Each structure stands twice: as C-alpha cells, then as structure tokens.
Amino acid sequence: MNVLIEATALAEALAGDMPPLVLDCRARLGDPEAGERLWREGHVPGSQHLDMDRDLATSPGKNGAGGRHPLPSREAFTATLRRLGVTPGRPVVVYDDVGGQLAAARAWWMIARWAGHPDVRLLNGGLGAWQAAGGELPLGREPAPAPSDWVPDYRDDVLVEADEVFSGRALKLDARPAERFRGEAESVDAMAGHIPGARSRPSAENLDAHGRFKSPETLDAELPDADPVIAYCGSGVTACHDILAYAIAGRPLPRLYVGSWSDWITDADRPIAIGD
C-alpha cells in the first residue's frame, strides 16, 4: 500500500497535467486559529487548509464523552470534502509540520480509511522535507477549488467503541509517549495510565532521526505482530500515525478507537493500569 509521497515526487506531480489536491493540516494544541494562520504565512503551492478542530473533529460530548477529538458527523465531513473539491478520481496529498505529521495522519485515515478515497498519500517528512527540497512557500490564500459532489462510502468497520475495547481480544496499541502510557506524567488528560493489557508504541518510534518514516522493512520488524489490533492514543489523532505505519509495513491495518484515553477515563467503571 503506497501511502507516502516524497517531496521531489510531489513537486513533479504538481507540475503535471493532473496535479493532486494538497491539504495543509497544520495545527497547534490550544490555539484553534494557528493552522489557518500558518497556512496563510506559507504553504505548498495550491494547497488548501484542512482544519484539525473544525474539519477533522467535532466538539466533545457531555462530560467529555467521545474524547477530545470525536469524529465529525458523516454529513459534516462530506460537506468538508465537497467544499475542498475532493473526488475519488483525483489523488490527495496531506501534510503538516509537527510531531511526525500527526494531524496529517488523522486526515489520511479519515479520507482514505473512513471515507474510502482510493488514493491518499502523506508527504514524507512534512513541510520540512518540502522546504529542504527547495519547494516554494507562497503566501496568502489560494483560490477556492471547484466543489465536488462526491458521496463517500463510509466504513464503520474501521472503528471500535469503548465496549469492544473493554471486552474484545484484540491487542490494544497505545501511540502516546511512553511516560504517559506508564502513568508517570500526564500533561493533557485528567487521569494518567493506560488501558489494561495495552502495549506501548509511541508514534515517534515510527520515524527515523530525520523525522521521516522508517523503511517498510524496519517497521515490519518493529511493529507488534498481532491480529487484530486496536490503535488508540489520547484523543484518536496520534493513533492514526501507528495505523499509517502498519500501512507502510504492508500489514493488516489496526482499527481505531477514536475516543481513546480521553474517552476511556470518562467512565469510572473502566479499569486503568499503571506502569509497563
């Protein structure tokens, strides 16, 4: 499964007769306006902004149910995809610039895995790789694309809810930093620890020293050899990075517990584990 594109290949594709639709997914935790501002201050030519909080998530439910980044409704996400001109006949490339492309991985998962687009790729190395390859960064807004009328075929079988996580036999894979998994530190959520029986696979371990994804062979050797697998994190964003790593390795893809740890801890009856 070819889910990555290199900066040089993207530059060639953008200069071709049928350029891909490029989506800038940059975001900053705690600053909902940062993504669009960064996009206006310089972006891959022709790219459109895809907002983490407004487009790739909706507001949490009562008392935090559903986690910090629940999925938007199908209707809302379909409207977003149509506004951006997304169609199955045009390749899509997503990118960002933080933490190994966490928001872009969420966009890849939502467009490719959930909505069923056949050709979505992530820019390997993100905006930094684009700049290192000599790519231009035009300022300001890009012209709005012609809207589409695509009707995605959403797949709910790529998702799991808390009840299935609680009772199922699947391996639970936690994409958060190891210290959060062990409960030694918790900078975001109200409680520390992890889902009992889970294994730690911090998303940063999917990358090499240059912030690019490791080779398929290396990922295949490192990723837990289990089937089925459920990926989770703090709020269903970073977990998509682990799912992407499985795709690069050519493995069966984990399902996503979107609510993740921030949803798990909203029910006092769900157990919590500390340590390794």
Query: Would you please indicate which residues are annotated as catalytic (active-site) residues?
Result: 233
Cβ neighbours of 219 (radius 10 Å): 20
Alpha-carbon separation of residue 17 from 8, 10, 173, 183 (angstroms): 16, 13, 41, 52
One-letter identity of residue 110: M
- b/e for 232-248, b at 16 or more Cβ within 10 A? bbbbbbbbbbbbbbbbb
**In 3D, which of 158, 77, 81 has the Cα closest to residue 114?**
158
What is the spatial distance between Cα 35 and Cα 229, in angstroms, rounded to a whole number? 31
Alpha-carbon separation of residue 42 from 39, 50, 89, 127, 135 (angstroms): 5, 14, 27, 10, 11
One-letter identity of residue 165: V
